[in-house]
Amino acid sequence: MFYFVMKAALSGLIAALVSDIAKRSPAFGALVASLPLISIMAVIWLWQDTGDEARIAFQLETTFWYVLPSLPMFMLVPALLRRGFGFWLALSAGCVLTFLLYLITAGILARFGGIQL
């Protein structure tokens, strides 16, 4: 249980640091946020927990495919904010778009790549 709490605390600390960095410098905060820190930590935790290189390779490969449908959100939300839609509405629209694109991606991966959720 301590191991899980330590992993959660470290992961949360990184998210809090990114937020504080973005308050001081939005561009640098965006750079740090764009780093695959969570994916790297997840792979490290997975390695510590299983030592299974094949599982890690699969995790990283599948992460690549699921990053792609999340990218349009980073264009939609700013576009909606600039048009006066408000933060929560713009963020919600971005999340809905991402969810729909995830479903499409999951269907494509299941059909052509054999990857099932």
With a CB cutoff of 8 Å and minimum separation 6, the contacts of 112 are none
Q: Does position 111 have pLDDT exceeding 90, yes or no?
A: no
93: tokens are: 């629209």
- Lowest mean pLDDT, pick from 18-22, 102-106, 110-114: 110-114
DSSP 36: -
Of 54, 16, 18, the C-alpha closest to 36 is 18
What pLDDT shows up at residue 97? 97
The residue type at 1: M
48: tokens are: 């510590």
The more confident residue out of 5 and 99 is: 99
DSSP 68: G
Q: At what angle do helices 53-67 and 37-50 cross, to 10 degrees?
A: 160
pLDDT tens, 30-58? 888 888 888 898 899 899 999 999 999 99
Q: How many residues in total does the chain contain?
A: 117
